[in-house]
A and B are shown apart, each in its own frame.
Chain A
């Protein structure tokens, strides 16, 4: 029996001990009329060799096209050691570290993770992670409402240039909390969110404001001006950032005069494979003064009975298993295994490695733009960008993107899906994984797709 160790002899001895005639007797408290019918859709079991064959065929079917899609999930090289260590059984098959003495590996690792992600974002405190970037933003909005007790409006300013699926997720997750999400338009020329767009709210009671850097179009926002506007009005700011970009970009802890209040983002670029969208992890950092309003698990340093240092889950009185209906969130899990990988990944790269990755992403995307410009395809926006760019493919964008895919190049994300006014625009990203030959292939297939 797969994964069940019992011998006939064991079963007999155990049933005798229980005083039951058969295993079936152990289910005698379940009413007969409720008993399940035979399963129809679960096929007969496969051995490891057969399932391996099946999965290899399925995986191979999806091909190995050259991927230039970003839009919130980015292709990066992950050092071999990262997942080899993360999938060691001691990390892979451990539970949440509630028994601290038997979980020092996971706990110390999370403390190191909290330190790394706090440093990267320029903040003072971090939790042990949330599900993904989008749900972390929803949690950040709820947290900001708790932090800003002075505000009565529950009105939150959300940039239109924020990832559209992040906007949808916030709407789903906080839709029943009486929070009003107000969209701030972006400038159709630069692709930036201009501080002037905030003018209509200058005298309003605003509870919190979101700033995305880079924004969904890859464009760099004037974060100091936007944060400064909020600081003047004592509005808490939530920053949504790409962690790889922070090797080069000013961390949110330094935006404006005093920095932002909460930072969230998608942790995937720090060592999680694309993997069809998950599992990734959402990171969240904040200022120490807000830590009791933060959702999710937090690890703190502690001393044991001998005065020896170690690590424990701390401030658990915020969480659902203690506070139940009064908890800061219903969240229970963090994305432990992915955070394990991310911590090893950040340790391997260090400051220098992460900077090289960010610079290579920047260089490759800018090189792609240059090559395409020579062929008449130009960026849609004028603003400075990091490693992602909205390319104006023109009227036949959809068919061209499909033709390029069929030729082995995934050209990017079609912005018309979310922005009617950006019809014909394709959001493309060339990370450090792309070689000059890959960039050339993009340009060639793009031209051929037009000709076809």
Chain B
């Protein structure tokens, strides 16, 4: 192994070296006034093209990814991202289109976005769709902001509260606060459904709305959704659908038909756009009749002459406004479009069918291997929860331990410690693109860990062992905060001469 294995790109730098073929020819100095000029160079890396390519290729190899490992991360829908979606979204005509190019030079793009809106309307049962939000959390913000605009427009401004189940994603309560609302949490009952009695007590003239995920974050379908919708609507509130789990029901049941007034979809989950190591996402929103006037701009509409254009504030005077400088994560939207067209009508249903088949199969197999399901009497949806409450008590084996040991077996860990209400939980989502053999291999690894815990818990506690690093001291890292690299300095305060050999 090379001595430079762990080095930063800055440590690979050599003064005077550069990938000069990548830069334009040098120009004469500019006439920028001296007081506005930069005095010293910023300190970006000085490296050759090969240095850079090798460094980042090697770094990539330190990642787990869908393309390299099974990644059953609950709530995140880590399904295969088809390569065609990427290459077709990166056609030069799409990459080079400026966001302010005139509509006359944008019909290919606008037509595609219009069709995407129409397809998303169809699969969600909503009246209109905006593609503007740049991520799920921004979609949530958009939805709740529209709920607020609706109440405000009616002069119904005493509604101050958003109801959120205790199992909800953290973005839900954080979003409600960003929209200027207060949050009221309600409990989940022992079968995983919303506690209806608590809901009835919680609603009132102060209720602006409720934010729900269905299937919920505990991996079961909320069976009394129509009753919930009635309770909230009767109290004058609106229903917000968090589309995190849309993969479970695609083509089977639609949020619009369940009574939701506004929804967001995570295109990077259900419609297989890449997670990219933490983004970009895309959080398209769908609205029902009541919220149409408040939709964010821009979104694509027909221009009345057989073509398309962006709707603006002029078309939507009551809009909640703009969410980004331009029109959202267009490149992500193109990928989602290609994905939907490749799957087609019949493929939409297959997504939820095989995601559900895989989850239920995996749940039963893990149960047989000695693990406890949090809701054994319920159908799993596209995901399910294993609780290690018993193993934690008897063997000292926690959810976090299983997660780390799984990495040694070559599997990415399921989501751990979410939702918060199930102790020592693993939220497992296999997705529809994984084969039976992969699931069987994962069960074998889980069984091996359980067996190992009975005889050698210490090895598990110290895991992972087979990765570039072992467990980190995160507390120390947060205390001695180091978020920006500093060049080593010698005693005179001058940068130390760079030593080391090439990688």
Contacts and interface: CB of A to CB of B under 8 A. Distances in A.
A55 B340 CA distance: 13
A33 B227 CA distance: 13
B495 interface: no
A165 B321 contact: no
Contacts, number: 668
B257 A34 contact: yes
A75 B79 CA distance: 33
A339 to B, nearest CB: 8
Given A29-B378, A112-B485, A302-B477, A61 B321 contact: no
Given A69-B101, A104-B469, 9 more contacts: A26-B360, A39-B122, A46-B344, A67-B101, A102-B413, A319-B170, A330-B171, A349-B22, A353-B19
Interface string B83-97: 010101011111111
10 closest A-B pairs (Cβ-Cβ)? A45-B344, A277-B326, A89-B67, A337-B276, A59-B93, A176-B180, A277-B99, A172-B321, A61-B108, A336-B278
B62 A402 contact: no
Interface residues on B, range: 35 or more
25 contacts: A3-B79, A11-B357, A17-B361, A18-B360, A39-B251, A87-B86, A88-B60, A90-B60, A97-B277, A102-B412, A102-B464, A103-B62, A112-B8, A134-B324, A172-B296, A173-B323, A279-B279, A291-B481, A314-B481, A315-B478, A325-B173, A356-B27, A363-B30, A384-B32, A405-B102
Given A101-B467, A320-B170, A48 B345 contact: no
A182 interface: no
A6 B23 contact: no
A72 B66 CA distance: 34
A177 B81 CA distance: 38
Given A97-B277, A246-B38, A302-B473, A2 B342 contact: yes
Interface in B171-199: 171, 173-180, 183
A163 interface: yes
Nearest to A79: B22
A230 B30 CA distance: 29
Contacts of B97: 62, 274-276
B480 to A, nearest CB: 9
Nearest to B94: A59
A266 B49 CA distance: 25
A421 B66 CA distance: 53
A310 B472 contact: yes
Interface string A152-182: 0000000000010110110111011110000
Interface stretch (B233-241, B346-354, B387-395, B447-455): B346-354
Contacts of B108: 57-62
A128 B276 CA distance: 13
Contact of B326 (A120, A278, A432): A278
Contacts of B23: 349, 352-354, 356-357
A94 interface: yes
Interface string A327-369: 1011111111110100110111111111111011011001000
B20 A352 contact: yes
B107 interface: yes
A193 interface: no
B16 to A, nearest CB: 9
A19 B364 CA distance: 10
Given A92-B67, A176-B148, A314-B483, A168 B322 contact: yes
A104 B436 contact: no
A314 B52 contact: no
Contacts of B343: 2-3, 45
A377 B92 CA distance: 32
B321 A171 contact: yes
B472 A303 contact: yes
Contacts of A306: 470
Interface in A415-434: 432
A100 interface: yes
B49 A348 contact: yes
B6 interface: yes
B345 A42 contact: yes
Interface residues of A, number: 199
Q: Which of A20, A26, A33, A222 has the most chain B CB atoms inside 10 A of its CB?
A: A26
Contact of A59 (B19, B91, B253): B91
B397 interface: no
Contact of B345 (A43, A77, A177, A300): A43
Contact of A4 (B36, B57, B145, B432): B432
Interface string A44-79: 111110011011111111111101010111010101
A301 to B, nearest CB: 4
Nearest to B313: A168
B344 A402 contact: no
Given A112-B485, A177-B180, A81 B8 contact: no
A305 B471 contact: yes
A331 B407 contact: no
A119 interface: yes
Contacts of A106: 63, 277-278
A320 B27 contact: no
B345 A248 contact: no
B171 A29 contact: no
Contacts of B322: 134, 165, 168-169, 172
A322 to B, nearest CB: 7
B170 A334 contact: no
Contacts of B80: 3, 93
Contacts of A288: 481
B459 interface: no
A229 interface: no
A93 B274 contact: yes
A98 B227 CA distance: 37
A198 interface: no
A116 interface: yes
Interface string A123-158: 011101101111100000000000000000000000
B178 A249 contact: no
Given A95-B76, A176-B178, A71 B482 contact: no
B324 A41 contact: no
* Residue from A2, A125, A251, A338 with most neighbouring chain B CB atoms (10 Å): A2
Contacts of A301: 477, 482-483
Contacts of B112: 55, 58
B499 interface: no
Given A278-B327, A330-B178, A340 B104 contact: no
